[in-house]
């Protein structure tokens, strides 16, 4: 239900995670980051269904910006958890 998620959720002041994003195309991941913003996405793996290494590799391939990847992999979690 990506169209509904984009319509009702993307761009709102909510956090999204990357769990199970390996089923998405790189273009869909890029669109989510472009519309919602890398500042509100945190790394998640949905383990044991998907290994963190699979999600990490997918994000490395889909997201060109090193700064956006840093935000998603750890900076946003630090901000969210206030650590």
Contact 44, 72 (CB under 8 A): no
- Residue 54: domain span: 2-81
Which tens digit of pLDDT belongs to each residue from 56-74?
A: 999 999 999 999 999 999 9
Give how far the C-alpha of residue 10 lies from the chain's centroid of Cα atoms, to the nearest Å.
12
Domain count, the chain: 1
**pLDDT < 50 positions in the chain:** none
Tokens read off for 28: 């869909």
Alpha-carbon gap, residue 27 to 43, rounded angstroms: 18
CB atoms within 10 A of CB 25: 10
Quote the pLDDT of residue 14. Answer: 94
Quote the pLDDT of residue 20. Answer: 80
pTM above 0.75, yes or no: yes
């Amino acid at each position: 239900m990506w169209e509904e998620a984009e319509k009702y959720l993307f761009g709102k002041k909510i956090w999204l995670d990357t769990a199970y994003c390996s089923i998405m195309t790189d273009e869909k991941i890029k669109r989510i980051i472009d519309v919602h913003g890398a500042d509100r996405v945190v790394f998640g793996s949905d383990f044991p269904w998907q290994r963190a290494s699979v999600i990490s590799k997918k994000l490395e391939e889909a997201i060109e910006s090193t700064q956006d990847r840093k935000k998603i992999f750890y900076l946003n979690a630090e901000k969210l958890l206030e650590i």
